[in-house]
Amino acid sequence: MSAALPEPNPHIAAMAAYTPGEQPQGSGWVKLNTNENPYPPSPLALAAIRAVVAAEGAALRLYPSPDASPLREAAAQLHAFPATDILAGNGSDDLLNILIRAYAGPGRPIGMLDPSYSLYPVLAAAQGAAVVKVPIHADFSFDVAAVAKCGAAIFFLTNPNAPLGVSFAPVKVAELARAFPGLLVVDEAYAAFADADCAELPKTHANVVVTRTFSKGHALAGLRAGYALCPPGLATILHRVRDSYNLDRLAQVAAAAALADTGWLRETVGKVRSERVRLTSGLEALGWTVVPSSGNFLLATPASAQRSASPATGEHAYAFFRERKILVRRFPNHPLTASALRITVGTAAEMDAFLAAAQAWSEG
């Protein structure tokens, strides 16, 4: 008989793991729950992967570039940004984790708007860091002064916000950067679908870092790649705490190729944005309340002649869609989201299916 499993660190024993969105098994689902892109990725990204696995995968025998230089060079070119100030991540979740490892810990809280991305508190808990939440008001604004004095060492501004979908103007983010004394992380996972972004801010604001992912705009969630645009001096610090080869060879070349394919991005994002408009007006016509979205998803509150908006109504609609193999997401733990559904913007056919089911629910 061997010894029992030892206790982990006390702060690890006390924490819970992140709950990812459901990945349903089997076919036939209309999957609108994790904000994936409904279109196939850039053919150039696929060609780059094929080139790596050619010659019986000889290239895979060798370690990849430790700091993902193919991807960093491509991002440097796109943003006219020094490659040395760009850090690549195994998805942007990896970048968020690296940032928290370097800047948060006991006595050094993280800050975030509430509601926003539920992974930040999990990453903070793993470092023994407390979380300070600054509320988003019912009109979707927030108080710059409240963030400025929240006491966090590092603050996460999800822009566009998830799960609400609203975005904050770059001038507002710049104002926040000047007022907040810590490191301001602008998590731009959904920036490809927005009218404006903050990619220029790290060039002029020494405490602003912008994170990007390939999971949403570039349709490469299965690949795991992202990058951070860092102010001078930050990347050197972050390199100390990242995994030594944090991006595999396939991700490095495919993400670099995807970034260079600006035509693909323009076309795909255009389709998502036009379906977003159609979904918004279709749901509003049914009497639903829709939060104005700059992302590839909508937060919408179902209501019908029979049922007024409430968390129970949201739950009822969720179950109705699920029975019809349409999967959306609920966020029951916050008053701004508890009565709503978050719906990923999919293809025209997926949106037709969703709108038909929404009409059946509203009129049922």
Among 167, 213, 339, 344, binds ligand PMP (CB under 6 A): 213
Nearer to ligand PMP, 117 or 361 (CB): 117
Question: In this complex, which beta carbon is closest to ligand PMP, that of residue 215 or of residue 362?
Answer: 215
- Minimum CB distance to ligand PMP smaller for 187 or for 197: 187
Please identify which residue in 221, 265, 286, 309 interacts with ligand PMP, judged by CB under 6 A: 221
Q: Please identify, using beta-carbon distances, which residue of 70 and 226 lies nearer to ligand PMP.
A: 226
Is the Cβ–Cβ distance between 67 and 239 less than 8 Å? yes
Tell me the site size for ligand PMP, rule CB under 6 A: 12
Interface with ligand PMP, residue 187, by CB under 6 A: yes
Between 37 and 215, name the residue whose CB sits nearer to ligand PMP: 215
* Using rule CB under 6 A, residue 167 touches ligand PMP: no
Residue 92 contacts ligand PMP per CB under 6 A:
yes
Regarding 117 and contact with ligand PMP (CB under 6 A), the answer is yes
Does the protein bind ligand PMP through residue 33 (CB under 6 A)? no
Under rule CB under 6 A, residue 227 binds ligand PMP: no
User: H/E/C letters for each residue in the chain?
Assistant: CCCCCCCCCHHHHCCCCCCCCCCCCCCCCEECCCCCCCCCCCHHHHHHHHHHHHHHHHHHHCCCCCCCHHHHHHHHHHHCCCHHHEEEECCHHHHHHHHHHHHCECCECEEEEECCCCHHHHHHHHCCCCEEEEECCCCCCCCHHHHHCCCCCEEEEECCCCCCCCCCCHHHHHHHHHHCCCEEEEECCCHHHCCCCCCCHHHHCCCEEEEEECCCCCCCCCCCCEEEECCCCHHHHHHCCCCCCCCCHHHHHHHHHHHHCHHHHHHHHHHHHHHHHHHHHHHHHCCCEECCCCCCEEEEECCCCCCCCCHHHHHHHHHHHHHCCEECECCCCCCCCCCCEEEECCCHHHHHHHHHHHHHHHHC
Binding region for ligand PMP (CB under 6 A) out of 86-94, 297-305, 308-316, 351-359: 86-94
Candidates 189, 219, 223, 255; binder of ligand PMP (CB under 6 A) is 189
Question: How buried is 128 (Cβ within 10 angstroms: 0-12 exposed, 13-18 middle, 19+ buried)?
Answer: middle
> According to CB under 6 A, which one of 36, 67, 93, 275 is a site residue for ligand PMP?
93
User: Residue 197, interface with ligand PMP (CB under 6 A)?
Assistant: no
Using alpha carbons, select from 108, 98, 218, 110 the residue that is nearest to residue 158.
110
Instruction: Decide: is 296 part of the binding site for ligand PMP (CB under 6 A).
Output: no
Q: Which is nearer to ligand PMP, 146 or 221 (CB)?
A: 221
Does residue 36 touch ligand PMP according to CB under 6 A? Answer: no
The interface region with ligand PMP, picked from 89-97, 256-264, 310-318, 342-350 by CB under 6 A, is 89-97
337 binds ligand PMP, rule: CB under 6 A? no
Confirm or reject binding of residue 118 to ligand PMP (CB under 6 A).
no
Among 38, 64, 70, 91, binds ligand PMP (CB under 6 A): 91
Which residues of the chain form contacts with ligand PMP (CB under 6 A)? 91-93, 117, 158, 162, 187, 189, 213, 215, 221, 226
